[in-house]
Structure 1
């Protein structure tokens, strides 16, 4: 019966996805169908409801709605423009300078908002037209925007790293994951800018005039309090002054005061900001509910043990096992959103990699970066569709210029996978 229930679980899930049923509903329905093969209807449905409820009964998850709200306030509060102007002042004199601005601004705004979608829409809506005026094709601008926005999922504060900490069952702390994400996120941004430099020289993209230091200082001063949020939030968590949940509340208060001081939003705008944030939070939390139920079912059916036994029996080299796991995750990422993928597959693969000596914090960063690639690829790629829509180009137009950027992301993934020091040097330095 166990084999049959596993088959029903995966077949029903993929069939529902192909029928374009929303991911959260697909997860919940397939989980329920599979469990009902083992136990009676009433206790089965009750168990699923219970697991969905207890799955979000976590203090750490309270950080998500507050970080979502902070990101929405920042998105509307004029912070994106200040970050873009500061980034532009640093690299405008380089060939293809605006493309670097796109990457830097996405890194900064994505890190502050904790949302790749927010970075894609906020930065893309501003930068695409500016880049077109400088001679950049819109599809190239969209490709830069799509891939660079994923850096905000690695550079803290990041909601998905909080979700992974929950899925790891306490094996990886939020503080350790936050500090571990810095170097991989920066490495990804630098690698993307390296490819942009190659393209800019090859295509002879235009470059602007070098700005005097006093003007760079002016742009930095205007963006300073926006950048300071990163120091306050992450520094406070790492120093043990407050938890990630408490930091998220501080981020909301700080962002609200900053936005009001900037004068871009008024107090009358907050009801609509709260409503938008509530809708986003509801979608995320429902995904977490159903994903936690499916994750419990995996444990109930013994799937993590089966996967561990299979991989260890089939492959004797741990580096090959790491590669196989990442190939599987790359495939999964193309058709599943990042939040349910982290919640469902962390309990399956984390025991395997830990048995082979990989640190759970290291695996968390690898997992998130891996699934970030899926956000940029069809058929589900959320950021791909948002980025294409913001740039007003079709997905088919974006695919060709996007491929080299995706290749860069895969190369960075392999570097982070096989050189753990890139991820672990900062957590080790801070004793996390």
Structure 2
């Protein structure tokens, strides 16, 4: 019976994806069909409906629409240009400085907006003409922009880590947020290493030196934006407010900042709110549908079957984690981050826990894998946005992407097999 349920569940799911059915509906319909193998239609429909509703009935999930709204306000509030100017202070004297600026700005902007796509569009759209004017290869610059934009999904506040916290059964969001800092910085450092190698080979220029007075002005203009990170993480670590409450504070902070910058007016807010609601609604529907799929998989003992199959291959944790990483890298090529998190967390987390892997550590491993996936064809959202803002064709950017992917996979292995990279800050600041 279990194999039939699994066949119906995944067979119908992937068939509908190939046919172009939206992924939320594919998950919900596949769940319904698989449950009908063992239950009558009315009972199956009742289970799916209940799981859809209960999956979205979570106080923790309120953080997602609030962080999305804060990010959209920041996107319209002239944040990208200020962060790019500040990034030039940090990396302006390095060889290939504009490439390094692109990476640092993506890390800063992505962490504040919580979106790799927004970072790739806002930072890439500003940096592409500057790099082209300075003699940088547009194809390589596009590859740098694409591969550095997902770093903000690891550096908090991160909607991906909030989703993982919910699906994993309540893993501490504070610990996950702190755990994402060093892996996110490591991801950015790998892209900067690639920039340094290519810059030395092609003799890319160094930016002009900025005077002390001008540096002070640039820093002063960027500090209010950077202050959002301090307010959110300082409040969470200090126990002043929860991550969900921090998301609401982020909206108020970003709105006040945008009004002060005079880049956003109250007239713009209805469109910003509407766009945020649409994005949040898609994610919430995905979460509800995935709860139904998780119930269908648990009812058919699919996670246990996968666990038994993997553990039958080897009892060596290193081998099992390598296999899980390989599967997740392949999944990331064909599936966007949120649905992949929702579907594969219930399958692989029990295996990781059996191997003695900390749930915070595994959440970072899972997210890091899928961050690489959103840069890869055929469905990588960061890939498409990065190419569209620079005007470079996707087939042109594949070659320079490959060596950067190699460096990112080395970083992924380091994060996987050195738990301290993910757990050092939670242990230090939270006593985790």
TM bucket by the smaller chain? Answer: over 0.9
RMSD of aligned Cα (Å):
1.1
For 2:206, the equivalent position in structure 1 comes to: 207
Deviation at 1:213, TM superposition (A): 2.8
Deviation at 1:98, TM superposition (A): 0.6
Deviation at 1:208, TM superposition (A): 1.9
Q: Work out whether residues 82 and 223 of structure 1, in 8 Å CA contact, stay in contact via their aligned partners in 2.
A: yes
2:104 is the alignment partner of 1:104: yes
Deviation at 1:64, TM superposition (A): 0.3
Moved over 6 A (4+): none
Q: Work out whether residues 23 and 336 of structure 1, in 8 Å CA contact, stay in contact via their aligned partners in 2.
A: no
Alignment of 1:92-241 (within 5 A): 92-170=92-170, 172-241=171-240
2:335 is the alignment partner of 1:336: yes
For 1:290, the equivalent position in structure 2 comes to: 289
Calculate the TM-score normalised by the size of structure 1. 0.98
1:240-263 Cα offsets, whole Å, 9 max, x none, are 110111000000000000000001
Q: Work out whether residues 66 and 248 of structure 1, in 8 Å CA contact, stay in contact via their aligned partners in 2.
A: yes
Q: Work out whether residues 31 and 293 of structure 2, in 8 Å CA contact, stay in contact via their aligned partners in 1.
A: yes
Q: After the TM superposition, which of the residue ranges 320-329 and 135-144 deviates more from structure 2?
A: 135-144
Deviation at 1:357, TM superposition (A): 1.0
Calculate the TM-score normalised by the size of structure 2. 0.98
Alignment of 1:247-396 (within 5 A): 247-396=246-395
1:5-34 Cα offsets, whole Å, 9 max, x none, are 111111111122222222212212211111
For 2:380 and 2:26, locate their aligned partners in 1 and report how far apart those are by CA, in whole Å.
17
Matched positions, count: 431
Deviation at 1:63, TM superposition (A): 0.3
Q: Work out whether residues 190 and 404 of structure 2, in 8 Å CA contact, stay in contact via their aligned partners in 1.
A: no
Q: After the TM superposition, which of the residue ranges 251-260 and 339-348 deviates more from structure 2?
A: 339-348
Deviation at 1:296, TM superposition (A): 1.6
Q: Work out whether residues 98 and 207 of structure 2, in 8 Å CA contact, stay in contact via their aligned partners in 1.
A: no
For 1:130 and 1:298, locate their aligned partners in 2 and report how far apart those are by CA, in whole Å.
50
1:119-155 Cα offsets, whole Å, 9 max, x none, are 1111111111111111122221211111111100000
Deviation at 1:303, TM superposition (A): 1.1
Alignment of 1:59-70 (within 5 A): 59-70=59-70
Q: Work out whether residues 139 and 396 of structure 2, in 8 Å CA contact, stay in contact via their aligned partners in 1.
A: yes
Q: After the TM superposition, which of the residue ranges 386-395 and 180-189 deviates more from structure 2?
A: 386-395
> Structure 1: where are the runs of 5+ without partners?
none
Q: Work out whether residues 2 and 302 of structure 2, in 8 Å CA contact, stay in contact via their aligned partners in 1.
A: no
For 2:32 and 2:124, locate their aligned partners in 1 and report how far apart those are by CA, in whole Å.
40
Deviation at 1:339, TM superposition (A): 0.7
Deviation at 1:338, TM superposition (A): 0.7
